[in-house]
């Protein structure tokens, strides 16, 4: 796990600036504290920060060059099947000088070019410079576990693992893409290829980019297609799934440094511990985080798993003071606003974990593959409800349900008026109604004048004709998972120089999940039914049968109590209100209603907090310097 950066002045062919590349790599030293390097070849400059995981000697230093000097690579990630690919290359006569997966990837590119992507299983973002063809090739892994940002400049291209590194090049300035704020307020992040920085883009998962004298081109090399296997029994499906999981866990353990597991006590992280135990791993270290409020403390379940598998277990309790002090650092490390309060918990537990190990495994991705969220069921029920004749719905059923006065029922009755593409925008399901009262007229005019491309519409168009659950899963795989969960996981662990691995997102498991019929993912009111079937004999019963609670953070309570003063001071400040995005009276009302416990507005208040802190960190300072 590392950080990569570079520049290619393909338009002007001016010499690359060694000092600029040094600045870019220095800005993300947390991603690679063990070593760093820069390679300059005319108009190309490549930089690297190394976190040593395989072959800890300096032979693994990057940028790395082929023996003939033609190709140079900078690479962030892990190729889990590098052992098998190395054997194939050695059988063909290739002689290796290191024990790294970096050299295997470089050799594969030298032999197969872009088609090497079909032969590797891993998480990665890399760039290869071909000095003969004068072409720079960038690629990001299939699912988007590792980030990769880029921007076109007057001279050509800059790219990096983090946005702050692009800003450090001084070829890109920190300017707000104001229309994208509306996307952020809708989703809690900016989906797709765009970011909240004007002109800075993400290379999308499963895509590659080429830069040469002709300019930039991007192309997809992988996508997921859902083809349910209706002839395979549930028992056979569970057996195949379990075998794949065990193999994925085994190859994700390849490392020359100690490995631990983030253990929440939920099904997914507990399954990781069970699978590693089945693979023969002993003396495993596990790590949990919790808050002192009883309803946000899952440590009891984590202890059940830790005791069952005899792990060396560690727990971290967080209080509101810890949370508040961490907000500026969380925003700085995230690069752009992402409404994911659990990221702060992950940052703090990763800090604890780094005292013991360098690599950690987590259960990220299982929910998006095997339908682990209750909202998927709600959306399916709404779809069934929408099939009832409209007259009956409006005159009989809706009035009866609405009369219950239940807030959630009323919410879903409102959603039922919309087709799936409009009502389901992701797992977090932010209430977009807030925008009506929050937005100023000036802000609304900018949004209407410069509409953003809707990346979720593209996802839904690709699954037109599929069942409702499949359409939601694909949408979340392309949006929520990559632009919220995975970006949080990468940034918060790498902030502490920890490599995070996510075995559930081994691409073979992702493709296998797409063959599992929706009826095996949710069955008899149970989400993730097939995964529970695969793991039911490997885990304590309390873990398999418990309801999913996610990664709980007591934001609502903190905003009512300890952080209420912080809310007012930040969101009602002249500095914040002068941005002219939101009405003062609307923000004031949300705070007062929440603090007085008349309504729960913690989600939208957190969105506003993160957005304002981001402006102060990046836009107001126009710098990439870290917050104190």
Asked about 2 being catalytic, the answer comes back as yes
User: Is the separation of the CB atoms in 463 and 474 below 8 Å?
Assistant: yes
* Structural tokens at position 141: 């892994």
User: Is the separation of the CB atoms in 35 and 43 below 8 Å?
Assistant: no
Distance CA 457, CA 6 (A): 32
User: Is the separation of the CB atoms in 188 and 182 below 8 Å?
Assistant: no
Q: Following DSSP, what letter does each residue of 280-326 receive, concatenated?
A: T--S-EEEEEEESSGGG--HHHHHHHHHHTT-EEEEEEE-HHHHHHH
Helix (H) or strand (E) holding 245: helix 234-251
Q: Which residues lie closer than 8 Å to 167 by C-beta, 6 or more apart?
A: 27, 173, 174, 618, 623, 624
CA atoms within 13 A on the CB side of 420: 29
User: Is the separation of the CB atoms in 9 and 82 below 8 Å?
Assistant: no
CA distances from 623 to 5, 163, 166, 181, 612 (A): 17, 11, 11, 20, 16
List phi, psi (to 5°) of 556: -60, -45
Three-class SS state of 78: strand
User: Is the separation of the CB atoms in 296 and 553 below 8 Å?
Assistant: yes
Residue tagged active-site, from 2, 116, 326, 576: 2
User: Is the separation of the CB atoms in 565 and 616 below 8 Å?
Assistant: no
**Other C-beta atoms within 10 Å of 473: how many?**
27
User: Is the separation of the CB atoms in 207 and 137 below 8 Å?
Assistant: no
The residues assigned a catalytic role are 2
């Amino acid at each position: 796990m590392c950080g990569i950066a570079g520049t290619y002045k393909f338009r002007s062919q001016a010499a690359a600036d060694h000092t600029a590349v040094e600045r870019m790599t220095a800005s993300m030293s947390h991603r690679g504290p063990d070593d760093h390097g820069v390679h300059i070849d005319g108009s190309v400059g490549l930089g690297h920060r190394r976190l040593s995981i395989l072959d800890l000697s300096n032979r693994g230093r990057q940028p790395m060059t082929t023996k003939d000097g033609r190709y140079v690579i900078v690479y962030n990630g892990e190729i889990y099947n590098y052992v098998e690919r190395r054997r194939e290359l050695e059988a063909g006569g290739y002689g290796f000088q290191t024990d790294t997966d970096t050299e295997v990837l470089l050799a594969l590119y030298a032999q197969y070019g872009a088609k090497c992507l079909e032969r590797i299983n891993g998480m990665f973002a890399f760039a290869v410079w071909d000095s003969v063809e004068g072409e720079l090739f960038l690629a990001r892994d299939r699912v988007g576990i590792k980030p990769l940002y880029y921007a076109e400049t007057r001279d050509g291209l800059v790219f990096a693992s983090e946005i702050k590194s692009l800003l450090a090049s001084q070829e890109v300035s920190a300017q707000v893409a104001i229309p994208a704020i509306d996307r952020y307020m809708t989703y809690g992040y900016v989906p797709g290829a765009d970011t909240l920085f004007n002109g800075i883009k993400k290379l999308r998962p499963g895509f590659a980019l080429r830069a040469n004298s002709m300019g930039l081109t991007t192309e997809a090399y992988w996508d997921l297609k859902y083809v349910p296997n209706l002839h395979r029994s549930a028992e056979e499906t569970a057996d195949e799934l379990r075998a794949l999981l065990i193999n994925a866990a085994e190859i994700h353990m390849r490392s020359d440094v100690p490995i631990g597991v983030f253990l929440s006590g939920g099904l997914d992280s507990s399954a990781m511990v069970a699978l590693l135990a089945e693979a023969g791993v002993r003396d495993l270290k596990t790590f949990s985080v919790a808050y002192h409020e009883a309803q946000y403390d899952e440590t009891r379940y984590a202890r059940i798993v830790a005791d069952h598998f005899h792990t060396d277990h560690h727990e971290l309790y967080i209080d509101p003071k810890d949370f508040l002090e961490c907000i500026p650092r969380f925003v700085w490390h995230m690069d752009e606003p992402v409404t994911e309060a659990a990221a702060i918990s992950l940052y703090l537990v990763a800090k604890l974990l780094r005292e013991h190990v360098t690599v950690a495994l987590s259960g990220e991705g299982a929910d998006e593959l095997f339908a682990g969220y209750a909202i998927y069921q709600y959306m399916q029920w709404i779809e069934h409800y929408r099939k009832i004749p409209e007259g009956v719905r409006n005159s009989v059923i809706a009035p009866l349900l609405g009369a219950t006065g239940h807030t959630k029922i009323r919410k879903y009755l409102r959603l039922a008026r919309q087709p799936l593409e409009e009502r389901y925008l992701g797992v977090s399901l932010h209430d977009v109604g807030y925008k009506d009262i929050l937005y100023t007229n000036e802000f609304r005019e900018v949004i209407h004048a410069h509409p953003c491309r809707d990346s979720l519409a593209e996802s839904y168009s690709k699954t037109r004709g599929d069942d409702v659950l499949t359409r939601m899963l694909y949408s979340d795989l392309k949006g929520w998972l990559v632009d919220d969960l995975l970006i949080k996981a990468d940034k918060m662990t790498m902030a502490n120089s920890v490599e995070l691995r996510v075995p559930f997102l081994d691409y073979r498991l992702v493709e296998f999940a797409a063959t599992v019929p929706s009826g095996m993912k949710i069955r008899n009111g149970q989400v993730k039914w097939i995964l529970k079937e695969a793991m039911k004999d490997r885990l304590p019963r309390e873990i398999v049968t418990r309801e999913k609670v996610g990664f709980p953070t007591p934001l609502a309570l903190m905003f009512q109590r300890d952080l209420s003063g912080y809310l007012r001071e930040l969101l009602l400040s002249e500095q914040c209100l002068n941005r002219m995005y939101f009405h003062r009276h609307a923000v004031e009302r949300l705070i007062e209603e929440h603090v007085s416990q008349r309504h729960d507005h913690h989600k939208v208040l957190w969105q506003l907090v993160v957005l304002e802190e981001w402006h102060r960190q990046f836009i107001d300072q126009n710098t990439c310097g870290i917050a104190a």
